[in-house]
Structures are given as C-alpha cells and as structure tokens.
Structure 1
Amino acid sequence: MKVLGLIVEYNPFHNGHKYHIKQAKKIVNPDYTVAVMSGNFVQRGEPAIIDKYARTEIALQNGIDLLLELPFVYSIQDAGGFALGSIGTLHRSKVVTDIIFGSESGDIEIMNEIAHILLYQPGKFKKYIKYHLKEGHSYPNARKKALYDYFEKDDKKDIIYKIIEKSNDILGIEYLKNSKLYNTNIHLNCIKRKSADYNEENYTGEISSATAIRKIILDENYKLLEKTIPETSYQKILQEINDGKGPISYENMRDIILYKTRITPKEELIKIYGVKEGLEKRIIESAQRSSDLSELLANIKTKRFTYTRIKRTILNIIFDITDEKIQKFNEYGPQYIRVLGFNKKGKELLNQMKNKVKLPIITTPSRYIKILNEIRKKELSEDIIVHSDMFLEQFNYDIKASEIYSLLYQNKENSKKYNELTRQIIIK
C-alpha cells in the first residue's frame, strides 16, 4: 500500500497547490493521500485568511483523502519546530510511505547533505557556529554563515548558498533532518516549485503565491482571484466572506496584540519563546507608542529580527508559550492525531490507522477527557510515547487558538455561538 503524505497550510488553496498534488501523485501513484495542515494560525505568525474547516473542505475537493491538523504549538514555530511537528504527525500515523514537498531548487541530494550536517553537526561545523555566535549573530544566522564556511571550498557551494536562502528549500532541509531524527522509513522527495516565489507579493498569473492571493482577497479583487485558484476554492472563499467568517487578516488582531504586549511585564516577557537579545525592551517600548500593527512591527524590527520572527514571537506572548514549554513539546513530539476531515477513501485509511497507531486519534474533540483518562491508565507502560500532561497541554492550545480565532470573524454572531469542542469534522 502506498500512502502519500503532504505538509500544507493551504492559506488559501490555489493553483500551485493543485499542481503540487497532481505532480506528487504522479511520482508516488498512491492508494491514499493524507495531508497534515496548520490550523487557524500559520507558520508566518498570522491567522489563516479563512478557518481550518473551510480549508479542509477545499482540500478534500481537490485530491486529499484525509486531512490532519498540525498541533498549534508546532504550526507557529520556526522551520525546525514546524517540520518536527509535521514529520512527527505523519511518521506517527504509521501509514504514510512517501512525503513529497515543494522546493525552489528541486535538488533533494544537496538538501539531504545539508540536513545531515545540521543534525549531526561535525566538529568543523560546530567550530564555525561558535565563531559566528561570538561575533554577535543570532543562532539562525550563525548557522547559515557556518554552512557558507563549511562548503567554502566545495564545488557545490554556489547551489548550496542559493538553497539556504530560499523559504521552501529551508523547510525541505528541516523535513529531511527531522525524518532522520524520528528514524522514519518514510521516503522523502521534492517537486520543483512552478512560477511564483513563496514570498512574491504581486500577481504573477495563473500560478501566483499565497502571499499575493491573500492580498487580492483583502483588496476584494475577485475577478483576479478567480484566475489564481480552483473553482471550488473560489466558491468556498466567497461563501466564508458572505457568511461573515472571512477574510481574516493580521490587522484583525490589533486589539488583542496591543493589549497583551502593553500589559505583559518584562519579567514575564523574557520567559516567552523567541524573546531574546533585548527583544523584550523593543516590544515594551513599541507597544506603548504604536496605534496599529504595521506601526508596531516597524518599531520592533531590526536586521536581526525579521517581521515573520516578530509575528511568531507575538503569538507566543498572546498564548503565554515559554521557552521551557517549547523545549518539552519538541522533546516529546505530537501527542495525538487530530482529524479535521476525510472522504470515503480517507475513512478507509483512518480505519487502518486505528489498528496501528500508538497516539490517540481525535475525531470528536468533546471526548478529550475520556481520551486523557485512557492515557493515564497506560502511562505505567515502558513503551508509551504519549504523556497525559503533554497531551492535555498541546490539545488545550489547539482549543484556545480556535476560540481566539473565532473572535476575529467579521460577523460577531459567529463568534458568540462558536465552540471548538463541539465542531464536527468535514466529511465529503
């Protein structure tokens, strides 16, 4: 049995995603296709433009059989943490045989070589990292510079330089690194991205970036939107807008963010994951003199702190996610498999998973207490990979994230009646 695994955000689902699914299926010829997807907040540190259930419905109409949710605590981490949670979820599903990801370079061999170095860190590489850290660079930049140095005399150095500057290649390297970390038997390969760059902000034709498409949606340019996404995606987005559930933008979080950043004391800020190198001082000062989020981000930003990193850090402040918590989440990995939706084939695959996985499978969120009690009964087992405290904390963050997201709906009646615990999965 061949099962294709994809790591996605579909924010929103567009023609490039449809191309990726089609090409991935050509490579693997799978019996089933499963995707793990960020929930209501994505790796850019922003709320998704439409909610996870709407995005699930679109995915099931466009070639995905089973849709799993990436736990919130991994979906808003940097590339390493995002990959750890995504690969961990697919690996622990016990059914995925192949993973295909998008890549700017399409060079799986060199990405694999870099992943090996990052995971095992040979002595020379460690020496370069220490040198650049002493120069005052942040760890991600010190690691990047150490790779430059490590491959300086290599005939592949030019392509390596390009790879470690590109968003999807960086993620691909982390997928490969974490597959080694989990010692998984899943085979990983990549597809070279077609046309628009991941961060391209402008419309570039039929295949445009998600960044450009979100801008088109927020500008209400629906004629242009129709050219960049499949019909099913177009109709669902319009429905979400008409129902007052979208579009959701980062600016919709203005009051929540300014409130939380203004009232959080310095001694609490310095415990938050991502708050390093004096960032707490910049956040405190900027929050007091900013009236909107564009102004806040501009006031915080430096060469060392990118907009994306700042946004992720701010979400950690909103949710009180500390360094200590992230270390534990990443040590234990995903503690459950949360199902967002499936079609007929996906239901077949889910039934097979139930006989194989050691993680609890959540299809009815309101049953989490029963699941928790079952975990506690098994915790004396030496073979356990699920820990009740970790399960509960990760799950509670998913619930909090969805409840906060519901406050961002355009029609506040939707917020009033929202209850994540009673939401039903999408069945197609």
Structure 2
Amino acid sequence: MKIVGIIAEFNPFHNGHKYLISKAKEVCNADAAVIVCSGNYVQRGMPAIINKTSRCEMAMLNGADLVIELPVVYSTASAELFATASIALLDSLNCIDYLCFGCETDSIDLLNTVAEILINEPKEYKDLLTLNLKTGISFPKARAKALDEYFKKYNLDYSLNINSNNYAKYPSDITSNSNLDINTFINQPNNILGIEYIKALMRFNSKINPVPLKRLGAGYHSLDTGTKLASATGIRTAMANKDNISGLLPDNCLNIIKNHTTIEYNDFSTVLGSKLLSMDTLDHIEGINQDLSNRIANNKYNFTDIETFIPMLQSKNYTYSAISRALLHIILDIKTDDIKEFVNNNYAMILGFTKKSGVLSEISKSTKIPLVSKFATFYKEADSNQRKMLDINLKADNLYRMIYMNKTSEILPTEFQRQIIIK
C-alpha cells in the first residue's frame, strides 16, 4: 500500500483542500491519504472557527482516509515547531511514502536547497543573518533578507527543476537564474511551511519523499472570494461578514458549517483579560521573552479585547502571528518546557478513519507508537509524559467546549465522550 501524508488545518475545509488531497493521491499514485491536522486551535495562534471533529468529518467526506490530531502545544507553535512535530508524527507511523504539500513555488530543488542552507547555516549566511538581526527587524524578515543577500552575493540562483524528488546536494548543480527572487520566495506562507517540512525530514533522516504541489487560486492571505479556489483567510472573512460562501466549499462541508456557530478569537477575550490581571510573570510562557513580557505588562490595563490588543504589542520585532500565538499560549498556559518535552510525539490521537482504505490496519502493523481511538481508555493507560500532554490538550479542549456552549447553548461532547468518525 502506498500512503501519502498531508499536514493541514482545514480552517475551514475548502475546495483547495479537496483538490490537494485528490491531486496528492493522483501524483503519488497513493492508495490512501493520512492527514495530520490541528485540533481546536491553529498555527496562526487562535481557535479554529469550527471544532476539530466537524473539520475531520469534512476532510473524510472529501478524500481523507485517516485524520490524526496534532497536539495543541505544536498546532499553536511557530512554523518550525509545527512542521517538526507534524513530521515526527508522520515519520513515527513507519509507513508513509510521501509528504504532499501546497506551495507557491513547486520547485523541489529550490525548496531542498534553501532548507539545507537553513539547517547547515554556512558562515557567510550566518554572518548576514546576524547583521540583519542587529537592525532590529523580526527574525523571519532578517532570515529572508539574509538568504536573498547570500544567493545574490555568491551568485547562487537555483535552477528550478520541478521533476526531482531527491534532496538537493547543496550547493551542487546551482546555476544562474536572474529571475529568481529568494526574498519573495521565502516570505510566501506555504513556501515557508514547505521548507520547514523538508528541514524536519532531513533532520529525522526520514524515508518520506517530499512532493510539493503548485498552489492554485487565491493567495494565502487573499480576501478575494470571486474564485472557487478562495483562501481559508478569505472564506473566514466572508463568514465573519455574513457573506455568501456557497461554491467556496464542497457542498457537503457547507452543510456541516451551516449547522455550527463559528468561534472567533475575541470569544476568548474575557479569559485572556483575567489571565493578564492575575499573572505576575509571563516569560515562562512559550513564545514570550522578557521584552514582549514587558510590552504586555505595560499595555494590559488598556486591554478590551484580543483583536484590538494585538496591534498594541506589534513592532518591527514581533509579527501579528507571533503575538497572537503568544497570547493564546497565555490563555492555554502552554510553557516553553512543554514544547521541549514533547517534540517527539509518542502517540497518535485518531479523529477519524475510513474502513475501506485499510490504512489504519496497515499503520498498526508498522508503528511502535499507540494509535488512540478511545481517549478514556488511553488516558488510564498513559505514562507520565503522555498523561501530561493529554492533560494540556484536555484543558484546552474543555475551554473551547465551554466557550462554544456559552455562545450557542449547544452541547459539545467532552474528550471522554467524543466518538471517532468512521466512514
């Protein structure tokens, strides 16, 4: 059996996701698609607009054969940690043949080369990065600028060969390509994640082959909903504005969304406000250094809601997403020590699977980590590390559930009550 892995959030599931799953199976000649998916909180540092069970169902109605939840400490982490934990989880299954992901640039050679530069950090690149960081710009901007300068300084414009699936042996086979703009390339959201996936595959010496697919339709941040391949950002904005989203999602997903009230970040404002008033120090929280901790402390008495608070904390050092993640970590009490402790996932929390694919049976023969289909049973049997991770997730899910029920008066099952989806 050939299996393709996909890392996703489905926030919400849309036509582009349906295309990705279908195209991934086609290109990789795969019999099944295994998805590692964020749970109730996503990498942009906010709650998912629809709960994880419903998003899993959307995916399974549109080609996913197994959906595994990425623990919340990593689903809300930086791109590098998000990617590393996701790859660790897929790699630990010991039967994933391919990793398929959407990119603005589908050159595997270029992605591999940049990934290897970032892993090895040649002295010349590292010196440029240090100089850029000293100007006070954020790390992502400093890194992009350093890469661009490194390629131009050493005339290392890379040949865009989209047919190779092998890791490039940096810096061999580098040729002149005057049209290549590394700065633009490294700043495109899907390219960033693609590079981080490949870095993680390289670090783990994984046998999984990376396969980038050209992203179609609207750009990642585009609000344009005039195309059937609108971005998740555009769809979320349209939903918030009560605009018509028919045609932007598969019909079976639209029916699910219509039966749910969406969750917004500001729904958590009271929780964050209470935390800000009660916590004396924040530098133990993941994503918060002393400087950001001071900025939060100096502005906390101006807090009214999350969406207006984030811009108060922004500077050239801190991106909107980084601040959003930091505030979510305050809400969920996710500490730096938690991140360090659990990067190598040692269980797979199943959200749903298809019987006919046989993929769960295949994985059960190859993996050494627990495949969890019943939360309550595994919770009793878990070791201390597993229990700690489960408790962090449980606390986060209980908060999401409480806020949803307070907003809607509808009942969501607890983790102990939740049934996995079987198709």
2:367 pairs with 1:354 = no
Instruction: Name the CA shift for 1:69/1:59 in 2 (closer, same or farther; >3 Å).
Output: same
Identify the match of residue 327 of structure 1 among 340, 358, 361.
340
CA offsets per residue over residues 233-287 of structure 1, 9 Å max, x none? Answer: 00000122xxxxx21111111111111122211xx30221211251112212222
Secondary structure at the counterpart of residue 420 of structure 1: coil
2:320 pairs with 1:307 = yes
Q: Report the residue type matching 2:301 in the other structure.
A: Q
Q: Report the residue type matching 1:407 in the other structure.
A: M
1:162 and 1:135 map into 2 onto residues whose CA distance is: 20
2:46 and 2:188 map into 1 onto residues whose CA distance is: 20
Identify the match of residue 390 of structure 2 among 391, 395, 398.
395
Aligned residues: 401
RMSD value, Cα: 1.8
- Asked if structure 1 preserves the Cα contact closer than 8 Å seen for 2:314 and 2:320, the reply is yes
CA offsets per residue over residues 143-176 of structure 1, 9 Å max, x none? Answer: 3332122212323473322210100000000000
Equivalent residue for 1:379?
A: none
Equivalent residue for 2:296?
A: 283
Offset at 1:52?
0.4
2:259 pairs with 1:259 = no
- Asked if structure 2 preserves the Cα contact closer than 8 Å seen for 1:407 and 1:415, the reply is no
Equivalent residue for 2:187?
A: 165
Equivalent residue for 1:86?
A: 86
Structure 2 gap ranges (5+): 159-177
- Asked if structure 2 preserves the Cα contact closer than 8 Å seen for 1:44 and 1:308, the reply is yes
2:349 pairs with 1:338 = yes
- Runs of at least 4 residues of structure 1 off by over 4 A? 410-417
Equivalent residue for 1:422?
A: 417
Q: Report the residue type matching 1:142 in the other structure.
A: A
- Asked if structure 2 preserves the Cα contact closer than 8 Å seen for 1:11 and 1:49, the reply is yes
Secondary structure at the counterpart of residue 34 of structure 1: strand
1:321 and 1:47 map into 2 onto residues whose CA distance is: 14
2:198 pairs with 1:185 = no
Offset at 1:212?
1.0
Instruction: Name the CA shift for 1:287/1:204 in 2 (closer, same or farther; >3 Å).
Output: farther
Q: Report the residue type matching 1:256 in the other structure.
A: V
CA offsets per residue over residues 275-310 of structure 1, 9 Å max, x none? Answer: 125111221222211212222112111222121111
1:168 and 1:417 map into 2 onto residues whose CA distance is: 32
2:253 and 2:365 map into 1 onto residues whose CA distance is: 34
2:52 pairs with 1:52 = yes
Secondary structure at the counterpart of residue 62 of structure 2: coil
Secondary structure at the counterpart of residue 148 of structure 1: helix
Equivalent residue for 1:270?
A: 283
- Asked if structure 2 preserves the Cα contact closer than 8 Å seen for 1:69 and 1:337, the reply is yes
- Asked if structure 1 preserves the Cα contact closer than 8 Å seen for 2:25 and 2:32, the reply is no
1:12 and 1:58 map into 2 onto residues whose CA distance is: 9
Secondary structure at the counterpart of residue 247 of structure 2: helix
1:183 and 1:137 map into 2 onto residues whose CA distance is: 33
- Range with greater deviation from structure 2 (409-418 or 293-302): 409-418
Offset at 1:122?
2.0
Q: How does 1:21-420 map to 2 (within 5 A)?
A: 21-152=21-152, 153-156=155-158, 158-221=180-243, 224-240=244-260, 246-265=261-280, 268-276=281-289, 278-330=291-343, 333-346=344-357, 348-372=358-382, 388-409=383-404, 418-420=413-415
Q: Report the residue type matching 1:356 in the other structure.
A: S
Query: Hey, which of these two has a bigger chunk of helix by percent?
Result: 1
CA offsets per residue over residues 111-140 of structure 1, 9 Å max, x none? Answer: 110001111222222222333334444443
Secondary structure at the counterpart of residue 421 of structure 1: coil
1:70 and 1:62 map into 2 onto residues whose CA distance is: 20
Offset at 1:78?
1.0
Offset at 1:329?
2.7
Sequence identity (%): 36
- Asked if structure 2 preserves the Cα contact closer than 8 Å seen for 1:406 and 1:414, the reply is no
- Asked if structure 1 preserves the Cα contact closer than 8 Å seen for 2:379 and 2:390, the reply is no
Secondary structure at the counterpart of residue 203 of structure 1: coil
Secondary structure at the counterpart of residue 277 of structure 2: helix
Instruction: Name the CA shift for 1:228/1:162 in 2 (closer, same or farther; >3 Å).
Output: same
Structure 1 gap ranges (5+): 241-245, 373-387
Offset at 1:413?
7.3
Offset at 1:369?
3.8
Offset at 1:335?
1.9
Instruction: Name the CA shift for 1:417/1:340 in 2 (closer, same or farther; >3 Å).
Output: closer
- Asked if structure 1 preserves the Cα contact closer than 8 Å seen for 2:16 and 2:229, the reply is yes
Offset at 1:418?
3.8
